Amino acid sequence: MAAAAEPGARAWLGGGSPLLGSPTSSPELGAGSRSRSGPGSGPGSGPERAGARPPGPAALGHIFRKVTLTKPTFCHLCSDFIWGLAGILCDACNFMSHEKCLKHVRTPCASVAPSLVHVPVAHCFGPRGLYKRKFCGVCRKGLEAPGLRCEVCELHVHLDCVPFACSDCRQCHRDGYRDHDLHLHHWREGNLPSGARCEVCRKTCGSSDVLAGLRCEWCGVQAHSVCSTALAPECTFGRLRTMVLPPACVRLLSRNFSKMHCFRISESATPEPGEGEDSVDASAPAGPGRELVVPESSKQTLKIFDGNDSVLRNHSRAITVPRQARNQEVLEAALRAYYITEDPQHFQLQALPQPAQAGDLGALGRFWSGGTVEEEGSRGPGAEMVEAWIIRARPRTQEVLKIYPAWLKVGVAYVSIRVTPQSTARTVVQEVLPLLGCQDEGPESFQLVEALMGSRQVQRTVLAAEEPLLDRLHDIRQTSLRQMGQTRFYVAENRAVAPRVSLFVGGLPPGLSLQEYSSLLDEAVASKAGLVSVSHVYSTQGAVVLDVACFAEAERLYMLVRDTSVHGRLLTALVLPDVLHTKLPPDCRPLLVFVNPKSGGLKGRDLLCSFRKLLNPHQVFELTNGGPLPGFHVFSQVPCFRVLVCGGDGTVGWVLAALEEMRHRLACPEPAVAILPLGTGNDLGRVLRWGAGYSGEDPFSVLVSVDEADAVLMDRWTILLDAHETGSGEDGVADAEPPKVVQMSNYCGIGIDAELSLDFHQAREEEPGKFTSRFHNKGVYVRVGLQKISHSRSLHREIRLQVERREVELPSIEGLIFINIPSWGSGADLWGSDSDSRFEKPRMDDGLLEVVGVTGVMHMGQVQGGLRSGIRIAQGAYFRVTLLKATPVQVDGEPWVQAPGHMIISAAGPKVHMLRKAKQKPKKSGTPKDVRAEGTPAPEGDSK
Whether the per-residue pLDDT at 741 is higher than 60: the answer is yes
- DSSP single-letter state for residue 381: G
What pLDDT score was predicted for residue 536?
93
Whether the per-residue pLDDT at 294 is higher than 80: the answer is no
Residue 173: Cβ-neighbour burial (10 angstroms; 0-12, 13-18, 19+): buried
Q: 192-196, 533-537, 679-683, 734-738: lowest mean pLDDT where?
A: 734-738
- Euclidean distance between CA atoms 720 and 72, whole angstroms: 71
Among residues 870, 868, 883, the alpha carbon closest in space to that of 830 is found at 870
- Euclidean distance between CA atoms 209 and 133, whole angstroms: 8
Whether the per-residue pLDDT at 782 is higher than 70: the answer is no
User: How, if at all, do strands 299-305 and 317-322 pair?
Assistant: antiparallel
pLDDT band at 340 (very low <50, low <70, confident <90, very high): confident
The residues near 483 (Cβ < 8 Å, ≥ 6 apart) are 307, 309, 452, 476
Q: 622-631, 678-687, 915-924: lowest mean pLDDT where?
A: 915-924
Whether the per-residue pLDDT at 759 is higher than 60: the answer is yes
Asked whether the CA dihedral 417, 421, 427, 428 is positive or negative, the reply is positive
548: three-class secondary structure by DSSP? strand
Cβ(699)–Cβ(707) under 8 Å? no
Whether the per-residue pLDDT at 180 is higher than 60: the answer is no
Whether the per-residue pLDDT at 827 is higher than 70: the answer is yes
Asked whether the CA dihedral 847, 852, 858, 863 is positive or negative, the reply is negative
pLDDT band at 837 (very low <50, low <70, confident <90, very high): confident
Q: 496-500, 631-635, 814-818: lowest mean pLDDT where?
A: 496-500
Q: 34-43, 648-657, 781-790, 856-865: lowest mean pLDDT where?
A: 34-43
- Euclidean distance between CA atoms 634 and 636, whole angstroms: 6
Find the DSSP H helices in 688-841.
Answer: 699-708, 752-766, 774-787
How confident is the prediction for the chain on average, in pLDDT? 79
Whether the per-residue pLDDT at 873 is higher than 80: the answer is yes
pLDDT tens-digit readout, 720-735: 998 775 444 444 444 5
Whether the per-residue pLDDT at 265 is higher than 80: the answer is yes
Q: What are phi and psi of 661, to 5 degrees?
A: -75, -30
What pLDDT score was predicted for residue 769?
56
As a whole number, mean pLDDT of residues 294-322 equals 83
Whether the per-residue pLDDT at 408 is higher than 50: the answer is yes
Find the DSSP H helices in 225-359.
Answer: 259-262, 308-313, 327-337, 354-357
pLDDT band at 613 (very low <50, low <70, confident <90, very high): very high
Question: Of the ranges 84-93, 487-496, 507-516, 753-762, which is most confident?
Answer: 507-516
pLDDT tens-digit readout, 541-559: 999 999 998 888 899 999 9
What pLDDT score was predicted for residue 938?
66
Q: Where are the beta strands (DSSP E) in 206-258?
A: 214-216, 222-223, 250-251
* Triad 614, 618, 622: Cα angle to 5°: 90
The pTM (predicted TM-score) of the whole model is 0.83
pLDDT band at 392 (very low <50, low <70, confident <90, very high): very high
- Euclidean distance between CA atoms 876 and 858, whole angstroms: 27
What pLDDT score was predicted for residue 259?
83
The residues near 944 (Cβ < 8 Å, ≥ 6 apart) are 639, 640, 668, 670
Whether the per-residue pLDDT at 88 is higher than 70: the answer is yes
Whether the per-residue pLDDT at 196 is higher than 70: the answer is yes
Q: Helices 514-525 and 551-561: crossing angle, nearest 10°? A: 90
- Euclidean distance between CA atoms 889 and 652, whole angstroms: 19
pLDDT band at 580 (very low <50, low <70, confident <90, very high): very high
The residues near 491 (Cβ < 8 Å, ≥ 6 apart) are 403, 404, 405, 406, 408, 428, 429, 432, 433, 436, 446, 447, 448, 449
- Euclidean distance between CA atoms 564 and 561, whole angstroms: 5
What pLDDT score was predicted for residue 602?
65
Whether the per-residue pLDDT at 411 is higher than 80: the answer is no
Q: What are phi and psi of 273, to 5 degrees?
A: -55, 130
Q: What are phi and psi of 801, to 5 degrees?
A: -125, 130
Question: Of the ranges 276-285, 351-360, 808-817, which is most confident?
Answer: 808-817
The residues near 381 (Cβ < 8 Å, ≥ 6 apart) are none
Whether the per-residue pLDDT at 18 is higher than 80: the answer is no
- Tell me the CA distances in angstroms from 101 to 16, 79, 96, 287, one per residue in order: 12, 11, 10, 17
As a whole number, mean pLDDT of residues 374-386 equals 44
pLDDT tens-digit readout, 30-73: 233 333 333 333 333 333 333 333 344 555 788 888 888 888 88
Backbone Cα Rg of the chain: 33
Whether the per-residue pLDDT at 857 is higher than 90: the answer is no
What pLDDT score was predicted for residue 29?
28
What pLDDT score was predicted for residue 935?
59
- Euclidean distance between CA atoms 798 and 187, whole angstroms: 66
Cβ(8)–Cβ(180) under 8 Å? no
- Euclidean distance between CA atoms 890 and 736, whole angstroms: 20
Residue 876: Cβ-neighbour burial (10 angstroms; 0-12, 13-18, 19+): buried
- Could you tell me which residue, 500 or 8, shows the higher pLDDT? 500
Whether the per-residue pLDDT at 517 is higher than 80: the answer is yes
Among residues 547, 541, 565, the alpha carbon closest in space to that of 498 is found at 547
pLDDT band at 82 (very low <50, low <70, confident <90, very high): confident
Cβ(159)–Cβ(130) under 8 Å? no
- Tell me the CA distances in angstroms from 896 to 203, 726, 748, 753, 758, one per residue in order: 59, 19, 12, 12, 6
Helices (H) and strands (E) in the chain, counts: 19, 45
- DSSP single-letter state for residue 227: G
- Euclidean distance between CA atoms 51 and 39, whole angstroms: 15
Q: Name the β-bridge partners of 806.
A: 803
Asked whether the CA dihedral 454, 456, 460, 466 is positive or negative, the reply is negative
Q: 67-81, 332-346, 721-735: lowest mean pLDDT where?
A: 721-735
Give percent of the chain with pLDDT exceeding 90: 31
Among residues 801, 817, 804, the alpha carbon closest in space to that of 893 is found at 817
Give percent of the chain with pLDDT exceeding 70: 78
Question: Of the ranges 266-280, 594-608, 907-921, which is most confident?
Answer: 907-921
45-76 as b/e: b if 16+ CB within 10 A? eeeeebbeeebbbbbbbbbbbebebeeebbbb
Host H or E run for residue 897: strand 894-898
Whether the per-residue pLDDT at 281 is higher than 50: the answer is no
538: three-class secondary structure by DSSP? strand
Cβ(584)–Cβ(638) under 8 Å? yes
The residues near 34 (Cβ < 8 Å, ≥ 6 apart) are 63, 341, 342, 343, 344
